[in-house]
Structure 1
């Protein structure tokens, strides 16, 4: 058997799962990295920008206080309290400046003017405007700190914008990653399941057809994995079964043809002997001749059924459809089987309603005779076999109900197979297992349907339906 595997089911599942894991972990890794970056930026805003902003604000408050006390000193003509406040503010300013430069040494060069030696003049001016004019040194310091404050605010806004953009980017990447995982997880799973189920459906169809007893057909090979190999193996098995079935059909046809001629000669010889053509026949001899005649008829009937099956399997079943009276068909069938029913103590009951449909009457009569004959065969003495016929606008239905032992549920699907006989009756009831198989072939050839309902211990009912018009 040639190999067809290209990519196994396990490999397909591994690729699908690997792609899903890669997308998931790539998205997760990016989000984790982005969170770390955002945490660093947030830390910089808190430890640098916010701290620096707070320190500059405090230094500016001290310098503003120094300017106010200088003006106060000048306007009041020398206020010792104002001098004390000025010294206190400048001292505190210097302390804050030293602390800030230790935390933020990168501003050492920018604030170099604030750390140089300085001189502040407190002498009153000649005019009021001179007294209100800010001190030049303090004003320079204030300008430097205000510019630093502005730069720090701008830097903090830049970092906040970076945080916003990074958050938006992380949200987008997370959303796209989630959608990709969902699309690959759900969509990929559905697609993979569809491909697997499609191949399994083909194999199941072939197995189901094989289980019904029909001629096994090849299934389509829809994949190159293990299911494709299974389909290929099934096709090889089906081809072998078809060859064996053809060989068996050919053998049966040949055997039936070869046996029919000598069987005819045997029956004619028995008839001649029984008729006394070769001398008088006593009662004991006549008894054995009748047994031989009965067995010859039985063997001839078997050959006829074997030939019927062979013709049907070779699709040579010719139907001669015509308008058929269903009620007449039922009555003529029961008429032929009355003697057999009486011999077995069985009562035949007809409940057929008037109906007309298009079919081959001889073949449908054969189906009815097979079903009623089985009912007679399996119904114990004193039982009944009832045949009903009903009609509807599009179909007619016939049912044959017996009061026999019934058929177990596990055996019901097999009774229409060729040569099959229930294990319980194989040794007690004569038969070939061909009657129901032939009946099914005839009904299917009429585009009808045949089925069985049975409850063990309460008899069986065989029904078939046919199109009213074909």
Structure 2
């Protein structure tokens, strides 16, 4: 079954949309071109009709003047002027007949009147006087009236043509607007359909990638749509299977390593216990000291193995959050109460001050982060020391500052202190050494909430600051 690729679909959609818009543009251009030709032809025709009408009116006056003068003076030049004016008038009448309809009657009437006047001049003797000229007055008046009627008819015709042209312009404007709107709507429909067809598999792919990032490797990945996106979905499903295999191998290796390390370690601790109890013979002071060192080292090794397994599980667990509305101050008070025995044993004073809004957080993971932070402060605080926890809002974060009176953190180690199993140079001088993963877990869980954990320079003791978003 043929399935087009993402690129071919995008190119086809682009060409279709461009074709629709181009068709609308060509249609508009052709419409404007036709309208421009109509305006040009109408303008040229109007100029021709106006000029012919003006010439006809002027020649009508010239005919009357030259005829009257000829009848009074009898000069042949005046008769020639009459004939020339009549020829020009006939040319103007030909133009009017050719350029405009509905002028046949007045043009024919004008021709008849002019012919009658011409015949009258031929039958009237030269220089017959003013009385003869007066006899032609009615004919000349009628000729002038016909010329005026022709001019009025032409003006009315030009006015109608102008109105028709304006109506045509308005019609074509509406038609062009409809074509443009239809083209834009069609292009929008094509773009929406293309986007829907392309974005739907992209959205599924985004969810699949997010599921891979969250270590949800159970469901197969099936991506539809274009051929290249389907192929990419197949690669993602292959990646899911590989990640599932790696995750299973990792868990299996951790179980095996844990078993392989804990079993001989348990035997080692049992042997050291037998030696320390003198079951295999009494030990002198040096031997007891060596046995104590062996027991302490075995316990420390077992603790490190358990911490490594716990931290490894914490890194994967931090990716899954079950957010719920959480009151921060009551949660801090509960965490402090859980450490009350250690606080009393170290004779410490712990104060919680400030206020905070309700957070959207995973209570269990946030509790672990706060517990590790407070436990770290308790572990490295001297007797009769103070631990101060200040909570404040700095939009859009809630800031938690934890200060203690312990040895603090060297300025060059402020960032490294959050690395797994790094305890810092100053902590080596403290009476109690930490495991080195508590602060790493704090940063992991705070970062999972979209926040940040940092160590700040402090002239006395350690100063840790947590930022948690609440908006």
TM-score by length of 1: 0.60
Residue of structure 2 aligned with 1:100, choices 92, 99, 105: 92
CA distance in 2, matches of 1:330, 1:247: 39
1:350 match: 350
Residue of structure 2 aligned with 1:271, choices 256, 259, 273: 273
- The 5-angstrom pairing of residues 125-136 of structure 1 reads none
CA distance in 2, matches of 1:354, 1:153: 92
- The 5-angstrom pairing of residues 59-98 of structure 1 reads 59-63=59-63, 69=68, 80=72, 87=79, 90-97=82-89
1:333 matched to 2:335:
no
- Partner SS, residue 339 of structure 2: helix
Unaligned stretches of 5+ in structure 1? Answer: 74-78, 124-129, 318-323
- The 5-angstrom pairing of residues 235-384 of structure 1 reads 237-238=239-240, 240-253=242-255, 255-256=257-258, 259-281=261-283, 282-283=287-288, 285-299=290-304, 301-302=306-307, 305=310, 327=333, 329-330=335-336, 332-333=338-339, 335-336=341-342, 350-352=350-352, 367-372=369-374
- The 5-angstrom pairing of residues 221-236 of structure 1 reads 224=226, 234=236
CA distance in 1, matches of 2:82, 2:251: 121
Q: Which range moved further: 32-41 or 253-262?
A: 253-262
2:325 match: none
State the 1:42 CA deviation. 1.0
State the 1:179 CA deviation. 4.9
- Partner SS, residue 350 of structure 1: strand
Q: Kindly indicate whether the alpha-carbon contact (under 8 Å) linking 1:49 and 1:152 is maintained by their aligned counterparts in 2.
A: yes
State the 1:411 CA deviation. 9.4
Q: Kindly indicate whether the alpha-carbon contact (under 8 Å) linking 2:416 and 2:422 is maintained by their aligned counterparts in 1.
A: no
State the 1:9 CA deviation. 3.5
CA distance in 2, matches of 1:401, 1:103: 107
2:128 match: none
CA distance in 2, matches of 1:251, 1:21: 65
Q: Kindly indicate whether the alpha-carbon contact (under 8 Å) linking 1:404 and 1:457 is maintained by their aligned counterparts in 2.
A: yes
- Partner SS, residue 351 of structure 2: strand
The total of aligned residue pairs comes to: 417
- The 5-angstrom pairing of residues 160-199 of structure 1 reads 160-176=162-178, 179=181
State the 1:214 CA deviation. 3.4
Change in CA separation of 1:280 and 1:177 when aligned onto 2, cut-off 3 Å = same
Change in CA separation of 1:386 and 1:229 when aligned onto 2, cut-off 3 Å = farther
State the 1:256 CA deviation. 3.5
2:25 match: 24
TM-score by length of 2: 0.60
1:215 matched to 2:215:
yes
Q: Kindly indicate whether the alpha-carbon contact (under 8 Å) linking 2:369 and 2:441 is maintained by their aligned counterparts in 1.
A: no
Change in CA separation of 1:260 and 1:245 when aligned onto 2, cut-off 3 Å = same
- Partner SS, residue 243 of structure 2: helix
- Partner SS, residue 404 of structure 1: coil
CA distance in 1, matches of 2:179, 2:141: 56
1:461 matched to 2:465:
yes
Q: Kindly indicate whether the alpha-carbon contact (under 8 Å) linking 2:57 and 2:144 is maintained by their aligned counterparts in 1.
A: no
Q: Kindly indicate whether the alpha-carbon contact (under 8 Å) linking 1:66 and 1:85 is maintained by their aligned counterparts in 2.
A: no
Q: Kindly indicate whether the alpha-carbon contact (under 8 Å) linking 2:335 and 2:367 is maintained by their aligned counterparts in 1.
A: yes
1:15 match: 16
State the 1:277 CA deviation. 1.7
Q: Kindly indicate whether the alpha-carbon contact (under 8 Å) linking 1:390 and 1:397 is maintained by their aligned counterparts in 2.
A: yes
CA distance in 1, matches of 2:262, 2:84: 133
Q: Kindly indicate whether the alpha-carbon contact (under 8 Å) linking 2:369 and 2:446 is maintained by their aligned counterparts in 1.
A: yes
Change in CA separation of 1:17 and 1:64 when aligned onto 2, cut-off 3 Å = same
Change in CA separation of 1:423 and 1:261 when aligned onto 2, cut-off 3 Å = closer
State the 1:51 CA deviation. 1.5
Q: Which structure has the highest helix share of the two?
A: 2
Unaligned stretches of 5+ in structure 2? Answer: 126-131, 323-329, 429-433
CA distance in 1, matches of 2:4, 2:442: 39
- Partner SS, residue 119 of structure 2: coil
State the 1:220 CA deviation. 9.6
User: RMSD across aligned C-alpha pairs, in angstroms?
Assistant: 6.3
1:38 match: 39
CA distance in 2, matches of 1:314, 1:159: 79
Q: Which range moved further: 56-65 or 140-149?
A: 140-149
CA distance in 2, matches of 1:407, 1:299: 26
Deviations 1:428-464 (A, max 9, x none): 99968687559967999xxxx5843325656532477
- Partner SS, residue 409 of structure 2: coil
Change in CA separation of 1:84 and 1:391 when aligned onto 2, cut-off 3 Å = closer
CA distance in 2, matches of 1:105, 1:363: 100
